[in-house]
């Protein structure tokens, strides 16, 4: 029965529904506190997983944040759940870190990245994430790696500069840069596109000018890797699992 309760809880079943499940199995029921106690050993298992030593080289690192609601001092606050996924030289991806914090400031990111380095994360060549200024500064300071701005998020940001009727056309024009065989060709294509759009959408052209280096960073890496390293898509499935569980809980009682 303990195993059933634990499996249900990990699967995202609320404590109230765990109680319904127990009663359906012929028992008298179970309270929230009992469910919490039965599942307490997960904390130790999770901490052991998140603090495990990292061995070997990890050339690619994906970072993304999901915001959750948490009770703190009688208030409900929004906290960032940072998930880090890395790929080793054999192409295997693993969750290498998770951290809960009050914001995405540089100090928050730096502390998280330093903890990964202490555990053995090394030889990171490219970090892929959304455009958080604090994270960019932390990457430069702690990792010394190149930074790839998530291309999917970048495209959405670019579309925001034009009306809905023109978004498909603008997106098609911008995508031409990403199908080029090398960084130089991609850069030339993106600059040409920016110049074509400049008269009608000067703010969009300025956005392209400012972000060109960041969104094309993945072009410096092997062609066979580019489809996976140009965006945070490899981590999106994890975020959806976090959100699914968070929707069941609603508001977390603590970190």
* CA dist., res. 170 & res. 183, Å (int): 21
Whether residue 103 is found in the same domain as residue 218? no
DSSP 66-108: EEEEEEETTEEEEEEEEEEEEE-TTS-EEEEEEEEES---HHH
Q: What are 9's two structure tokens?
A: 């809880």
Rounded CA separation 187/227 (Å): 18
Query: Considering the domain boundaries, does residue 137 fall inside one?
Result: yes
Alpha carbon of 83 to those of 65, 101, 116: distances in Å?
6, 12, 12
Q: Does a structural domain hold residue 255?
A: no
Dig out the tokens for 25 from the structure.
């199995």
Which residues, listed in sequence order, are joined to residue 67 by a DSSP beta bridge? 80
Cα–Cα distance list, 164 to 78, 102, 203 (Å) = 31, 34, 16
Residues 207 and 241 grouped into a single domain: no
The enclosing H or E element of 62 equals strand 60-72
Predicted TM-score (pTM) of the model is: 0.85
From first to last of its 255 residues, the chain has per-residue pLDDT tens of: 566 666 666 666 666 666 676 677 666 666 667 666 666 777 788 889 999 999 999 999 999 888 899 988 889 998 888 899 999 999 999 999 998 887 667 888 899 999 999 999 999 999 999 887 788 888 888 998 999 999 999 999 999 999 999 999 999 999 999 999 999 999 999 999 999 999 999 999 999 999 999 999 999 999 999 999 999 998 888 888 888 878 877 888 777
**Do 85 and 104 belong to one domain?**
yes
Q: What residue numbers bound the domain in which 125 lies?
A: 52-148+232-249
């Amino acid at each position: 029965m303990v195993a059933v309760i634990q499996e249900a809880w990990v699967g995202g079943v609320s404590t109230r529904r765990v109680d319904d499940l127990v009663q359906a199995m012929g028992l008298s029921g179970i309270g929230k506190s009992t469910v919490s106690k039965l599942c307490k050993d997960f904390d130790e298992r999770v901490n052991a997983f998140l603090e495990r030593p990292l061995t070997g080289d990890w050339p690619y690192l994906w970072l993304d944040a999901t915001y959750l609601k948490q009770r703190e001092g009688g208030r409900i606050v929004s906290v960032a759940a940072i998930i880090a996924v890395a790929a080793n030289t054999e192409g295997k991806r693993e969750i290498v870190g998770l951290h809960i914090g009050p914001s995405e400031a540089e100090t928050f990111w730096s502390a998280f990245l330093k903890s990964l380095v202490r555990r053995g994360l090394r030889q990171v060549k490219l970090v892929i994430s959304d455009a958080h200024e604090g994270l960019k500064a932390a990457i430069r300071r702690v990792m010394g790696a190149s930074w790839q701005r998530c291309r999917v998020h970048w495209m959405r940001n670019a579309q925001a500069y034009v009306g809905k009727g023109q978004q498909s056309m603008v997106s098609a024009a911008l995508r031409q840069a990403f199908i080029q065989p090398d960084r130089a060709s991609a850069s030339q294509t993106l600059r040409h596109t920016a110049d074509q759009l400049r008269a009608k959408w000067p703010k969009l052209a300025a956005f392209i000018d400012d972000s060109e280096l960041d969104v094309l960073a993945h072009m410096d890496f092997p062609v066979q890797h580019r489809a996976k390293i140009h965006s945070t898509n490899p981590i999106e499935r994890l975020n959806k699992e976090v959100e699914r569980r968070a929707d069941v809980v609603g508001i977390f009682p603590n970190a």
